[in-house]
Amino acid sequence: MSKPEVTAIIPVYNDHHSLGAAIPRSLETLAKITPDFEIIVAEDGSTDGSTEFVRDYEKRDPRVRLLHRDERQGRGKALNRAIREANGSIVCYYDVDLATDMQHLEELVGAIRGGYDIATGSRLLPDSDIVRTGGREIASRSYNLLVRTILGSKVFDHQCGFKAFNKERILPVLPTIRSNHWFWDTEILVRGQRMGFRVREFPVHWRAGKGTTVRMKDVFEMGSAILRLWWQIHVSKD
């Protein structure tokens, strides 16, 4: 197989039930965008059979690769590792539940082809089409307003799990990222903008996955993560 143009990363933790749909849909969608692609399943210490499922798929289709960890390291670490090991010059990732409609993948990849360093789907632009509970909507808008106000980001939606990068440009950013979990998405956007990267944000069709709720603990963690990154950037100069 020739060196792929695009690497699509699917971060996974105990998502066996979603992989059965996510992998074939990814193969189908990517094949319409480019003949040269690979899919990396960044599996992070799953115990539900996800590892075995992907290993079996890997044997049947060389375009699918498994990156496995025996113990859970965190979504951020899994993405860092997958991006470093990606063979494509364009690297994208999306959530295994395919909450963002895969029809947008061509636009995501196209933005990097067109010269942007980072591209990201957005649930908070006027033309975005989203369905989720009122509590999650309020929490999301409040969180993103704080990121824009405190950290100076120009992006409206930092947490949408649907992003792409110019691999060569993004690699130097990875060692600066401190978050290993959910805040990784925000941190890479903030640090990328501070390095002068061109960022393309576009509206998407998005549906909330099952079992996603907002707890008070999450709200406090969101605020703490924003303030911690502000401190790292402006005081400790990390």
Question: What pairing do the DSSP bridges indicate for beta strands 118-122 and 162-166?
Answer: antiparallel
Q: Is the pLDDT of residue 218 over 80?
A: no
Residue 222 — very low, low, confident or very high, per pLDDT cuts 50/70/90? confident
pLDDT for residue 228: 95
The DSSP 8-state label assigned to residue 96 in this structure reads T
- Write down the catalytic residue from 117, 185, 218, 238: 185
CB atoms within 10 A of CB 83: 23
Alpha carbon distance 73, 25 (integer Å)? 27
pLDDT for residue 29: 98
How many residues make up the chain in this entry?
238
- Percentage of residues in the chain having pLDDT higher than 90: 84
| pLDDT single digits (tens) 72-85 | 989 999 999 999 99
The DSSP 8-state label assigned to residue 2 in this structure reads P
Distances from the Cα of 118 to the Cαs of 107, 139, 147, 155, 222, in angstroms? Answer: 12, 25, 18, 11, 23
The letter for the amino acid at 5 is E
Q: Is 44 a catalytic residue?
A: no
Mean pLDDT over each residue of the chain, to the nearest integer: 93
Which residue from 123, 191, 185 is spatially nearest to 153, judged by alpha carbons? 191
Residue 181 — very low, low, confident or very high, per pLDDT cuts 50/70/90? confident
Q: Is the pLDDT of residue 217 over 80?
A: no
Q: Is the pLDDT of residue 214 over 60?
A: no
Task: Find the distance separating the first CA and the last CA of the chain, reported in whole Å.
Answer: 40
Distances from the Cα of 137 to the Cαs of 123, 133, 150, 207, 211, in angstroms? Answer: 10, 6, 20, 12, 15
- Compute the average pLDDT of residues 170-187: 94
Q: Is the pLDDT of residue 96 over 80?
A: yes
pLDDT for residue 64: 98
Alpha carbon distance 43, 69 (integer Å)? 7
